[in-house]
Amino acid sequence: MNRKILVMLVTIGIVVIAITLLSAIIAANNADKNCGSISDQSAKDDCYHSLAHETNDKNLCNNIFDSEKKEHCFGHIPE
């Protein structure tokens, strides 16, 4: 395979991965802000719990007020 084509394909792959990661980070940050705007505490806890599972981010479990939901959140998200 031509070296220029290989370099171009690798570069495109790196750009696609970078864009995908940035999109995931932006989506998680926006969702976190949306959970924070919920006034009902139970609904807010459910939002953070779901978001933590979707993003595999245990840090979001810290935002859960209900101790049982928080415990479940920490217990079911992989390291």
Question: Cα(first)–Cα(last) distance of the chain, in Å?
Answer: 40
In this structure, is residue 17 part of a structural domain?
Answer: no
Number of domains in the chain: 1
For 60, other C-beta atoms within 10 Å of its C-beta total: 23
In this structure, is residue 10 part of a structural domain?
Answer: no
Q: Which domain holds residue 53?
A: 32-79
3-class secondary structure, 78: coil
The verdict on pTM exceeding 0.75 is no
In this structure, is residue 2 part of a structural domain?
Answer: no
In this structure, is residue 50 part of a structural domain?
Answer: yes
- Express each pLDDT in 10-68 by its tens digit: 899 898 898 888 777 766 665 556 888 899 999 999 999 998 988 888 999 999 999 99
1, amino acid identity: M
